Amino acid sequence: MKSRTGPRTIRRSVAISSALAREAASLAPPELRDNFNRLVVVALEEFAARRKARAFEDSMTRMAADPAIQTESRAILGEFSAAEMDGLKS
């Protein structure tokens, strides 16, 4: 049995309105306007990247609001403040 080394491709069928397809094509960069499959792939990649970035930002916001994290952050800042100007002339 052969082992696959490249990315696995799956096929999906979706139904969208013709108006949405036209709008997406009209807003797409020139290199994607004539390749709807590639346009959908790029759109899904961008969607996934935005969702991951939003989840990370939400995690950072929650972490910044956590009193335990704030206390630890102040302690670390205090420990490093003595060395802040090491090697720099004032």
Q: Where are the domains of the chain?
A: 18-81
Q: What is the largest CA-CA distance in the chain?
A: 69
Residue with tokens 């335990």: 68
Q: What is the pLDDT of residues 5-31, one digit of tens each?
A: 777 889 999 999 999 999 999 999 999
Count CB atoms within 10 A of the CB of residue 46: 10
φ/ψ bin of 87: left (φ > 0), alpha (ψ from -120 to 50), beta (otherwise) = left
For the segment 56-75, the average pLDDT, to the nearest whole number, is 95
Structure tokens at 68: 């335990």
> Which DSSP letter does residue 28 get?
S
The per-residue pLDDT for 20 is: 96
What's the predicted TM-score (pTM) here? Answer: 0.68
